[in-house]
Structure 1
Amino acid sequence: MKSTRITIQDFTGVYAEQPFMQGLRKAASTDGEIRWFDCTRIDGTDCYCDDEAQAILREQIEFYKTPALRQAQGPSSISTPGIHFFDNGNYHYMSKLWTDSIREPFDLVVFDHHPDMQPPRFEGILSCGGWIKEVLEHNRFVQNVVVIGVADHLIEEIQQDLSQANAAEILNRVTFIRESELKNLQDNLSSFVCSEHASVLSSNLYISIDKDALNTQEAATNWDQGSLTFEQLAEALQALARNRKILGVDICGERSRDMGFEDTAAADALNNALNKKLFHLLTGLHGIQ
């Protein structure tokens, strides 16, 4: 089976507390399919990503390609499939930068407790809270977006915010699966996604996971969390990958290192175990190219 390329972008040093992720860091020195980038010294990245930081991060994504592909295809001219870990939810905008390099039509599936479609406070600035809106407005290859696990009240708020910003029309391409729907579905999320929403999704998918969509027994994050279980997430991912091409999978949602947890060791152990499960689940999916 073809191996899957793995990229880790460490913005805060939080992965130092996770033995599994440190194993990937060690493996990166000898395994060409694993890339580890220390992003802790890049300024202008926390929640908002300024132009200088974006330039550095885009260079990392370009470096992700093999030398042969860089020479043959040129900058930003091919999709960059694989699995990408990039720290806590403050850096979820990385999914916008990774999808910028896709050069074929695709649908975006996001697991998140927040809609991430806020109009920017500062015009032209990329943020963790508005990156999906940026993808919809600026990526000509994205067709539809499905966001799974969003808190119900935040959907109402974002609809109002976008309407006031004269951007409500982009919601025509967005489907929300509310947190309240997940609670009613229990273990049937995969069939719900693939039956009721099958007409929305094409054969090419890009998947972005913020672990704050999961409940607090599954993950410890720096944002308020939803009620998704790992079993629901795993079954949904397996169903989404069936008979489709997965152009990439992103994972964020670590705890913030400066956020007080009553037991940080327990929080790190929880996230370490979850990252390990996600890694083995995703590298086993046949849809990832």
Structure 2
Amino acid sequence: MPAVTVQDFTGVYSEQPFMQGLLESAATDKNIHWFDCTQIDGTDCYCDDEAQAILRQQIESVGNDSFGIHFFDNGNYHYMSMLWTDSVQEPFDLVVFDHHPDMQPPRFEGILSCGGWIKEVLGHNKFVQNVIVIGVADHLVEEIREDLTQVNSAEILNRVTFIRESEIASLSSHFSHLTSLSSSLYISIDKDALSTAEAATNWDQGSLTFEQLADTLQTLAQNRKILGIDVCGERARDMGFEDTATADALNNALNKKIYNMLMTLATRGDSAPSAE
């Protein structure tokens, strides 16, 4: 069974019965790890060096011996995927589901952010080969090209493929491209790539359906080694929803479906390459 790690930065999981079930199970199940990160300073949107040191210790304590599933709160903490991928010690391709490119040049040099973590991965991780980002808003693709050109970093886009939001309706037509990825993958899911009918997040959302997400993951997992899968995109606790109970119920149901889907992939054996 894959290890499951939850890093709770805001306490939002307390509103979700399914996630509270994982918290209860963590007391007795060695495959489930729950970290209360609510008292760690310097983590919201930007992650400073002191916070990184604490979070890396958590990751190290879990270990990286096998495929793991990681939940880490809302999209402000998507930079956690950089910290998790830093523990990978073999070549891999990174597949990201996100409504945003997350490749912004840093406002403050050397500060890790939720909006620029993919750029940081491409810049310093010697094992990442290529990145594919699925569900990005069309206009943001063009904007990030301009932003990176202005700071003389446009060359990193040679290793990036975007599947835009406008292409989501025909996502299955891109499966042949997905099958050309390497035999080892790391997958990061920000639920803001999904439609508002599927999730309630703290960022503007795309139009991906759960069925499209599940079908794509099934395709990606065939005959490949999945090194890890991250899930973020909860609602922010201080962000007003007209009906927070409905938003929490929506996210609770989605997290349960995602968890069960990922467990099915792992236990079916699709997370490792087939014998040749």
Do both share a fold (TM > 0.5)?
yes
Q: Alignment partner of 1:27: what SS? A: helix
Instruction: Pick from 37, 41, 47 the counterpart of residue 39 of structure 1.
Output: 37
Indicate whether 1:89 and 2:81 are aligned.
Answer: no
Which residue identity does 2:175 align to in structure 1? Answer: C
Instruction: Pick from 168, 175, 193 the counterpart of residue 194 of structure 1.
Output: 175
Q: Deviation per CA, 1:187-212, whole angstroms, max 9, x where unpaired?
A: xx2x434313433x100000000000
Counterparts in 2 of 1:49 and 1:132: CA distance versus 1, 3 Å: same
Deviation at 1:79, TM superposition (A): 5.8
1:266 is aligned to 246
Distance 1:237 1:7 in 2: 20
Contact in 1 for aligned 2:178/2:220 (Cα 8 Å): no
Which residue identity does 1:139 align to in structure 2? Answer: N
Distance 2:203 2:61 in 1: 31
Q: Deviation per CA, 1:69-116, whole angstroms, max 9, x where unpaired?
A: xxxxxxxxx666300000000000000000001000000000000000
2:264 is aligned to 284
2:46 is aligned to 48
Which residue identity does 1:211 align to in structure 2? Answer: K
Which residue identity does 1:99 align to in structure 2? Answer: T
1:71 is aligned to none
Distance 2:71 2:189 in 1: 10
TM-score, normalised on structure 1?
A: 0.91
Distance 1:265 1:102 in 2: 38
List aligned pairs for 1:158-237, cutoff 5 A.
Answer: 158-183=144-169, 185=170, 189=171, 191-199=172-180, 201-237=181-217
TM-score, normalised on structure 2?
A: 0.96
Q: Deviation per CA, 1:15-39, whole angstroms, max 9, x where unpaired?
A: 0000000000000000000000000
Structure 2, unpaired ranges of 5+ = none
Structure 1, unpaired ranges of 5+ = 66-77
Contact in 2 for aligned 1:193/1:236 (Cα 8 Å): no
Distance 1:167 1:161 in 2: 9
Q: Alignment partner of 2:256: what SS? A: helix
Indicate whether 1:21 and 2:19 are aligned.
Answer: yes
Distance 1:133 1:242 in 2: 27
Which residue identity does 1:40 align to in structure 2? Answer: T
Count, aligned residues: 269
1:4 is aligned to 2
Q: Alignment partner of 1:248: what SS? A: strand
Indicate whether 1:112 and 2:61 are aligned.
Answer: no
Q: Alignment partner of 2:93: what SS? A: strand
Q: Alignment partner of 2:33: what SS? A: strand
Q: CA RMSD in A?
A: 1.0
Distance 2:110 2:18 in 1: 37
Q: Deviation per CA, 1:247-272, whole angstroms, max 9, x where unpaired?
A: 00000000000000000000000000
Which residue identity does 2:13 align to in structure 1? Answer: Y
Contact in 1 for aligned 2:2/2:66 (Cα 8 Å): no
Contact in 1 for aligned 2:73/2:232 (Cα 8 Å): yes
